[in-house]
C-alpha cells in the first residue's frame, strides 16, 4: 500500500507536499520521496525511512518549487530497496517525467517479460516501471494519447500522479480500487490518496477523481479526460474502510469513521455477548468498538493503550520478556481489565499471532473472560490490488475453522462480521461496486492471472 500527494501551482509546493506526506504516513513507512519542478528540470529526493527523517529543512528548501509530487511506500510488489523508492524519475524522448503509483498491476510480470524480449532494460523491480516503458514504446504523438494507450494494456489497481516540466497528471484506474481525491487551496490544486492530507495543509475538498478519469493540470487550471469509453463496474477496496484509510478521511463518497462505527453496531446486532466492558485494539479497532458499545449498551473502555513512538526494534530479549514486540506497542490497563468480562474488538485477524499475544496480555492483566469480535469477515484470500496481505497459506482463516482460530488465540468466544452486514451503508444493488476478494475470493480484475498466483 502507498500514499501519493500532488501540488500544482503553489510557491511552497515542496512544503505542502511534505506536510501532505505526513498525513499519508499510515499508508507506507518503508520509504518516501518527492519530485519538484525547477527551471533546470525535475529535482528528486527520496530515501528509506519515515517522512520526518527523510526531509530536513535544508532538503525542503532545495526542493522548493511551484509544482511537486510525493510518495510514501509500503512495498506490495518489488523489494523494499532504495532503487524502488518513488516517485520514479525517468528521462526519455518524452522528456523528464516522474511518476508515483498507489496500487498493483496484476499483469505486470507478463508485460515486463514481453518488453524485455523487445530489448527494454528495467532499473527497478516495481510494477510502476512497466507503465513508463509502455509509454516510451508508444507511437502516439501526444502525451495524453500515449498514456491512454499504455494504461489500457495493464490490469489491476492504479492511482497515479505524473509530473513533467509543464504539467501534473492524475489518473485513477477504471475500477477505482484505490481512493484519489482533488482539493483546492486558493489558486492551487491538490491531489491526494485521502482527504486527511488535504485537511492537514488547509486545502478544501473539491471531489473525488472518478474511476477511469485522467485529470491534466496546467497553468493553474485542469482538463478532464476519460481513459476509455466503456469502463468496467467499480470495485472500490472495502478494506480501505475496514482498516487502511485514516478514520478522519472521506473516501468513496463516505466518512471512514462513520462506516467503521457502523461495522461495530452491526457486529453487536449479530453477535452480542454478556460482557462488562468493550475494549478496542488501538488504533484501528476504536471506531468499531464505539459502535459496538453504543449498540450493546456495554461500557466502552480504553483497556489497551498504544505506544505511538515505536519504530523498528533491533535489540530484543529472546526469553526474558514474553511477547516483547507487542508489549512495546500496546499496554494493558490492569485496573480496568482485572476481573472483567472483556469484549475485545479488532478490525481483522490475519495470521493470528498478534491476536494471540494481545489475548495473553489481557489474561495476564486479570481478565475474567475474553470475547473477541472482529469488525470484518474472515480474511481468507490474498490481495493482488495493492494491500500487502500474506500468501493464502499464511492466512489463518484460510486453513482453520472459527473454532480452531478461537482455540489458537485463546479467547472464550470469537465472532466475525458477516459479508452482508459489512455493506450496511450501501444499497443492495450497489454492493457490487466494492471489491471484497480478501473475504470472498471473488477477484473482479485479472482473475485468470491471479488464479495462477494463488
Q: Which of 2, 85, 383, 438 is catalytic?
A: 2
Q: What cell numbers appear for 18 in the block?
A: 511534505
Catalytic residue list contains 2: yes
Positions annotated as catalytic residues are: 2
Amino acid at each position: 500500500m502507498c500514499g501519493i500527494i500532488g501540488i500544482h501551482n503553489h510557491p511552497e509546493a515542496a512544503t505542502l507536499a511534505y506536510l501532505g506526506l505526513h498525513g499519508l504516513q499510515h499508508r507506507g513507512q518503508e520509504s518516501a520521496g518527492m519530485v519538484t519542478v525547477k527551471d533546470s528540470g525535475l529535482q528528486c529526493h527520496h530515501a528509506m525511512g519515515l517522512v520526518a527523517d527523510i526531509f530536513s529543512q535544508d532538503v525542503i528548501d532545495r526542493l522548493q518549487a511551484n509544482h511537486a509530487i510525493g510518495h510514501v511506500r509500503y512495498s506490495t510488489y518489488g523489494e523494499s530497496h532504495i532503487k524502488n523508492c518513488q516517485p520514479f524519475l525517468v528521462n526519455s524522448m518524452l522528456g523528464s517525467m516522474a511518476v508515483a503509483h498507489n496500487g498493483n498491476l496484476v499483469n505486470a510480470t507478463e508485460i515486463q517479460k514481453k518488453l524485455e524480449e523487445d530489448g527494454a532494460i528495467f532499473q527497478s523491480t516495481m510494477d510502476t516501471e512497466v507503465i513508463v516503458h509502455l509509454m516510451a514504446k508508444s507511437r502516439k504523438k501526444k502525451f495524453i494519447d500515449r498514456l491512454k494507450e499504455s494504461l489500457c494494456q495493464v490490469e489491476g489497481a492504479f492511482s497515479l500522479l505524473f509530473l513533467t516540466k509543464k504539467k501534473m497528471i492524475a489518473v485513477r484506474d477504471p475500477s477505482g480500487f484505490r481512493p484519489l481525491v482533488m482539493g483546492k487551496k486558493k489558486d492551487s490544486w491538490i491531489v491526494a490518496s485521502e482527504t486527511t492530507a488535504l485537511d492537514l495543509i488547509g486545502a478544501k475538498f473539491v471531489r473525488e477523481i472518478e474511476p477511469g478519469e485522467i485529470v491534466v493540470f496546467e497553468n493553474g487550471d485542469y482538463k478532464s479526460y476519460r481513459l476509455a469509453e466503456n469502463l468496467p463496474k467499480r470495485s472500490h477496496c472495502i478494506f480501505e474502510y475496514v482498516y487502511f484509510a485514516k478514520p478522519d478521511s472521506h473516501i468513496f463518497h463516505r466518512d471512514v469513521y462513520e462506516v467503521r462505527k457502523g461495522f461495530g453496531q452491526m457486529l453487536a446486532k449479530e453477535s452480542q455477548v454478556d460482557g462488562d466492558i468493550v475494549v478496542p485494539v488501538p488504533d484501528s479497532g476504536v471506531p468499531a468498538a464505539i459502535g459496538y458499545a453504543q449498540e450493546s449498551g456495554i461500557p466502552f473502555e480504553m483497556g489497551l493503550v498504544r505506544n505511538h513512538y515505536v519504530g523498528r526494534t533491533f535489540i530484543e530479549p529472546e526469553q526474558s520478556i514474553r511477547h516483547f514486540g507487542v508489549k512495546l506497542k500496546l499496554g494493558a490497563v490492569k485496573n480496568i481489565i482485572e476481573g472483567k468480562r472483556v469484549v475485545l474488538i479488532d478490525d481483522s485477524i490475519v495470521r493470528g499471532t498478534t491476536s494471540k499475544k494481545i489475548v495473553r496480555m489481557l489474561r495476564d492483566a486479570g481478565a475474567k473472560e475474553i470475547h473477541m469480535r472482529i469488525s470484518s469477515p474472515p480474511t481468507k484470500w490474498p490481495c493482488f490490488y495493492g494491500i500487502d496481505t500474506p500468501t493464502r497459506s499464511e492466512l489463518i482463516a484460510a486453513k482453520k475453522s472459527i473454532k480452531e482460530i478461537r482455540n489458537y488465540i485463546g479467547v472464550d468466544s470469537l465472532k466475525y462480521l458477516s459479508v452482508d452486514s459489512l455493506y450496511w451503508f450501501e444499497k443492495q444493488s450497489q454492493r457490487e461496486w466494492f471489491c471484497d476478494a480478501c473475504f470472498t475470493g471473488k477477484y473482479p480484475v485479472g482473475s485468470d492471472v491471479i488464479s495462477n498466483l494463488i
